[in-house]
Amino acid sequence: MQLERIQAALRAQGVDAWLFFDHHHRDPIAYRILGLPEAMATRRWYYLVPATGEPRKLVHRIESGALDSLPGERREYAQWTELEGGLRGLLAGLPGHPKLAMQYSPGCQLPAVSLVDAGTVEQIRALGCEAVSSADLIAHFDAFWTPAMAASHNTAGRIVDEAIQGAFAHVRKSLDRGEGLNEYQLQQWILDRLVAGGLAPEGPPIVGVNAHAGDPHYQPAASGSSPIRPGDVLLLDVWGRMNQSGSAYYDVTWMGYVLRAEEQQVPDRFAKVFAIAAAARDAGIRRVQDALAAKRGLCGFEVDQTVRGVIRAAGLDEFFIHRTGHSLGREIHASGANMDDYETHDVRQILPHTAFTIEPGIYCPHGEPFGVRTEINMYVGDEAAEVTGPIQREIVRI
């Protein structure tokens, strides 16, 4: 645990303390930030990090060692009638009506942060405290990338990129040999190459043709998957991280089109929709890079507004049905700012040494049975932001 840095951040944000709480491992963020092993947690524990002074612990007597790896005085409770007194003791010494950061989001506006149950928030408020969201603190201490994470991301990226391009070639070879190939078979072919390359994917990649490409989280099944044929639009959304502790995910989406014998180019109706999505993606990239160059703060919702604005100007915004991008880190959907003013209004700032995706999609426009998505990853350094892999400029001709 980075105690001094956490306390400095609390003082900078005008927060009196950060109260961590868990029961049955409901809050994985707390375990990561505190560096706690995931031991038995069948009883509630509380860990208070004040803006100044020593941390304090409150644990149940039958799991009294739950927080022994952390600094601070330990208090214990057993009966429910002891719990309130234990909490009052935990909070002793804080200013009157203290402001406590918790894994809480008003109105559950940021679901990934809103991990403390409503009853516990009520319990803390009843003791005269103000519960505030720890969302910005989490971004500083959980979404932050180390140099080793950045290096692992780049290594994973090379493996993922090779698997995607290899998959497009595999489709062509299978068709030329007259062999049938469906979505599920291609998905498993990609997955085998990711694992062979040393990656630990969180679930299999998305492989969808035509109308299935218009379903953002479609997953092919072993039975009932669509065959891949000439004239099909093919979406590949592939992600993974190196199979080692602390590695960071790489997550991209590419589009292909399976040429018919008489075709040399991707049909205009597909190419034009992809070009709009790509222009929206590039507008988002520029918004981030321009803000950093000008040393201006930038929130996740602002990037979404920029990207969505391009698609809206083309008259296709009703077919863009998810946020623009998500935080990226040790989890595929990490705990930093999302590029979102659609599913949520994400006011968290994009911070140095964090990463995220930009992935606009246009799905079944005007009822047509196809969809497109283009996805890149961005890493934000101290003074600049960069796309960490190749950027797709046009639909791949297969």
Give the model confidence (pLDDT) of 140-176 as tens digits: 888 889 999 999 999 999 999 999 999 999 999 999 9
Q: What is the number of H-type helices and E-type strands within the chain?
A: 9, 16
pLDDT at 180: 86
One fold for 3-142 and 144-397: no
Give residue-wise pLDDT tens across range 326-348.
999 999 999 999 999 999 999 99
Q: What confidence score (pLDDT) does residue 12 get? A: 92
Instruction: Calculate mean pLDDT across residues 356-375.
Output: 95
Q: Is the pLDDT of residue 19 over 90?
A: yes
- Give the model's pLDDT for residue 50: 96
pLDDT of amino acid 112: 87
User: Residue 200 — very low, low, confident or very high, per pLDDT cuts 50/70/90?
Assistant: confident
Strands (E), 34-143: 45-50, 56-60, 73-77, 99-102, 130-133
Q: Kindly report the CATH number that applies to the domain delimited by 3-142.
A: 3.40.350.10
pLDDT (0 to 100) of residue 203 = 87
**CATH homologous superfamily for the domain 144-397:** Creatinase/methionine aminopeptidase superfamily (3.90.230.10)
Strand 250-257 and strand 45-50: the pairing is: unpaired
Amino acid at 191: L
d(CA 329, CA 312): 30
What number is the average pLDDT over the span 103-123? 91
Residue spans of the domains in the chain: they are 3-142, 144-397
Q: How far apart, in whole angstroms, are the C-alpha atoms of residue 253 and residue 360?
A: 10
For the chain, the average pLDDT equals 94
Name the pLDDT band for 45 (thresholds 50, 70, 90): very high
pLDDT at res. 64: 92
Q: Look at residues 139, 143, 123, 140 and name the one whose alpha carbon lies nearest to residue 19.
A: 123
Structure tokens at 387: 């796309």
Q: How far apart are CA 86 and CA 88, in angstroms?
A: 5
Residue 41, pLDDT score: 87
For the stretch 286-341, pLDDT in tens is 999 999 999 999 999 999 999 999 999 999 999 999 999 999 999 999 999 999 99
| pLDDT per position as a tens digit, 62-109 | 999 999 999 999 999 999 999 999 999 999 989 889 999 999 999 888
Contact between 275 and 248 under an 8 Å Cβ cutoff? The reply is: no
| pTM score, whole prediction | 0.90
